[in-house]
Amino acid sequence: EVQLVESGGGLVQPGGSLRLSCAASGFTLRDNWISWVRQAPGKGLEWVASLQYDVSGKYYVDSVKGRFTISSDSAKNSVSLQMNSLRAEDTAVYYCARSLFGAFDFRGQGTMVTVSS
Amino acid sequence: DIVMTQTPPSSPVTLGRPASISCRSSQSLVHSDGNTYLSWLQQRPGQPPRLLIYQISKRFSGVPDRFSGSGAGTDFTLEISRVEAEDVGIYYCMQATQFPLTFGGGTKVEIK
């Protein structure tokens, strides 16, 4: 069974850092695009970042450029999102998703990030 | 950036009746490879999003055939032929033709 398990969320103060992880099972991340999508409380979906696993292509929404870094760990079959200089507006549930045919296949429950003092 | 506009924002429907959601993009979603990367997702209350339709009209694995997608260029539609109670939730369109990837604002489907 295909699964994506997000972890690493929590409560952090403004300006702080968190590292989210997305562990895949049931398929190999190699040759896949993996993305992070977030959803602020009561709001819609927002694409955050994408990584083309074996081609090192990385893309970010403007609001996180220079603060967030998406990376892969082939040994662990996982993708990480390093989030620095966190702001209140980064508070959201963060989902990882794999791209299939140019669409997002979500397989996890997400991980909550709360930025607050 | 490509702006995705969904209408209506809310759609009260009667069980067993059809529902239709519109999604319009601010520019053509036809990619240079000839494909159109417009997809539809469903988010039931308290659940993560679920992929329903990709590339305008292709149903994802396990999606009931009462869901269908259509459209071209900048105008797209998701239709539910006969709404069931489990269809309650928020529906999003999304474009993956060009970075930044963008979502519509969502349409809430609820039962009258």
Give residue A27's pLDDT.
Answer: 87
Residue A102: predicted pLDDT: 92
A47-86 pLDDT, tens per residue?
999 998 777 789 999 999 999 999 988 788 899 999 999 9
Q: What is the mean pLDDT of residues B73-93?
A: 98
Percent of chain B with pLDDT over 70: 100
Strands laid side by side in the B4-7 sheet: B4-7, B19-25, B75-80, B67-72
Mean pLDDT, rounded, of chain A: 94
- Residues A77-100 have a mean pLDDT of 96
Out of A37, A95, A103, closest to residue B54 by CB: A103
Report the percent of chain A where pLDDT is more than 90: 80
Read out DSSP for A13-66? -TT--EEEEEEEESS--TT-EEEEEEE-TT--EEEEEEEETTTTEEEE-GGGTT
Residues whose CB is less than 8 angstroms from the CB of residue B51 and which lie 6 or more positions away in sequence, other chains included: A100, A103, A104, A105, A106, B39, B40, B41, B60, B63
What pLDDT is attached to residue A53? Answer: 76
pLDDT class of A29 with cuts at 50, 70, 90: confident
Q: Burial level of B54, CB count in 10 A (0-12/13-18/19+)?
A: buried
| Residues near A107 by beta carbon (within 8 Å), at least 6 away in sequence | A2, A3, A4, A97, A98
Question: Which of B1, B25, B43, B101 should one mutate to test binding to chain A, selecting the residue with the greatest count of A CBs within 10 A?
Answer: B101
What pLDDT score does A86 carry?
98
Mean per-residue pLDDT, A14-43: 93
Which segments of chain B are extended strands (E)? 4-7, 10-13, 19-25, 38-43, 50-54, 58-59, 67-72, 75-80, 89-95, 102-103, 107-111
Residue pair A115/A88 in contact by the 8 Å Cβ criterion: yes
- Comparing A54-58, A106-110, B72-76, which segment has the lowest mean pLDDT? A54-58
pLDDT for the residue B3: 98
Q: Which helix (H) or strand (E) holds A11?
A: strand A10-12
Tell me the pLDDT band of A94, cut-offs 50, 70 and 90.
very high
Helix/strand/coil for A5: strand
- Cβ under 8 Å to B: A residues 27-66: 35, 37, 44-47, 50, 59, 61-62
Distance (Å, whole) CA B107 – CA B112: 15
How far off is chain A from B75, nearest CA to CA, in Å?
Answer: 17
Whole-angstrom distance, CA of residue A25 vs CA of residue A21: 13
**Residue B55's CB: how many other CB atoms inside 10 A?**
17
Length of chain A: 117
Whether residue A32 is predicted with pLDDT greater than 90 in this model: the reply is no
**A100 contacts in chain B (CB < 8 Å):** 51, 54, 60
Of chain B, the end-to-end C-alpha distance in Å amounts to 36
Could you read off the pLDDT of B40-71 as tens digits, one per residue? Answer: 999 999 999 999 999 999 999 999 999 999 99
* Closest to B29 (Cα-Cα) out of B51, B58, B55: B55
